[in-house]
Structure 1
């Protein structure tokens, strides 16, 4: 099975969520199930069924996070020495070649991607067009709306 790349920050966020699920949410759900059981008949007990559904969702999420963490390659972006090239984890400042509008993206793993936060998946068309390029290069992106060109203004490893 291929290792999935994950930034150090992304791995820390997953570990925090896992700790919260195991130490806060799981005990709270167990308590809710116990209280609902104490109310008697479980067939028509909405609180019991809701708590069991939440338990199922939480246990599924715990397994999902554990699987991601066990199958990831954690990359510390700050220790990269990519000689100015755009690589996984790099933060890239771009200028639209047509409009001059500037935008900043960090290239992250699929699980970390959040376009509103400027974090794009390594598998996205923009990231694929940027990987391997350097500051001053032109990146041509095949976007759904047509071809777009970006000047690479700066490449940082933060």
Structure 2
């Protein structure tokens, strides 16, 4: 399996979720199943079936997170040499040359991407267009609405 790039923060978030699932969620579901079993006939016991379904989701998510973490290539951007180039993990401020709108994005792994928080996937068209460039470069990003020109105002290794 190929390595999955992940920021230090993203890996930490996954570890916290895994810890929660194993120490809080899993024991609660097991207790719910035991509780539902005491209600008798399992064939028509909706609580039992719901708890078993939750258990399936929970165990599936635990396996998914463990797999991601075992294949994670955790990149701590603060320990990378600051070459001024846009790389995985950098925070980039760009200006749309047409609208003059400024936006700051952080380039992260697929699991961490959250457009509302300006965390963009390393595989997104925007990130692919920015990677390897540096401050003052102008890049053309293909968007559904056509090509958009951006100027890179700042590249930070935060």
Give the TM-score of the pair, scaled to structure 1.
0.98
Equivalences for residues 54-133 of structure 1 within 5 A? 54-133=54-133
Q: CA deviation at 1:146?
A: 0.6
Shift of the alpha carbon at 1:83?
0.7
Give, in angstroms, the shift of residue 124 of structure 1: 0.5
* Cα displacement string for residues 4-41 of structure 1 (whole angstroms, at most 9, x for unaligned residues): 10000000000000000000000000000000000100
Gaps of at least 5 residues in structure 2 are: none
TM-score where L is the length of structure 2: 0.98
Gaps of 5+ in 1: none
Q: Secondary structure at the match of 1:33?
A: helix
Aligned length: 158
Which whole-Å CA distance do the structure 1 matches of 2:11 and 2:130 have between them? 23
* Structure 2 residue aligned with 1:12: 12
**Structure 2 partner of 1:152:** 152
Give 3-state SS (helix, strand or coil) of 1:100's partner: coil
- Considering only aligned residues, what root-mean-square deviation do their CA atoms show, in Å? 0.6
C-alpha offsets along residues 92-118 of structure 1, whole Å, 9 cap, x if unaligned? 001101111010100000111000000
Stretches (4+) displaced over 6 A: none
Report the more deviating stretch, 3-12 or 73-82.
73-82
Q: Distance in 2 between matches of 1:119 and 1:101?
A: 17
The 1-side partners of 2:25 and 2:2 are apart by: 31
Q: What's the CA shift for 1:77?
A: 1.2
**Alpha-carbon deviation of 1:81?**
1.1
The corresponding residue for 2:29 is 29
2: CA distance, partners of 1:117 / 1:30: 35
CA distance in 2, matches of 1:39, 1:141: 60
